[in-house]
Amino acid sequence: MKTIKATALTHEAFAPFGQFYNYESPDGYALCGELHKFYPDRVCADSNHRIGFSPITVKKPERMIITQQEYHTTTWEMILPLNDDMILHVAPASAGKIVTELAKAFIVPKHTLVKMNAAIWHLAPLPATKDQLTAMIILPECTYANDCTVVDLAPEEQFEIVL
CATH code of the domain in which 142 resides: 2.60.120.480
Using only C-alpha atoms, the chain has a radius of gyration, in whole angstroms, of 16
Residue 31: predicted pLDDT:
96
Domain count of the fold of the chain? 1
Q: Is a pLDDT exceeding 90 seen at residue 159?
A: yes
Check residue 146 and report its DSSP letter: H
**pTM confidence score:** 0.95
Residue 132 Cα to chain centre, angstroms: 16
Mean pLDDT score across all residues of the chain: 97
Q: Is a pLDDT exceeding 90 seen at residue 45?
A: yes
Task: Give how far Cα 98 sits from Cα of 6, 77, 157, Å.
Answer: 20, 19, 8
Residue 141 Cα to chain centre, angstroms: 17
Q: What percent of the chain has pLDDT over 90?
A: 99
Residue 49: predicted pLDDT:
86
What's the domain range around 142? 2-162
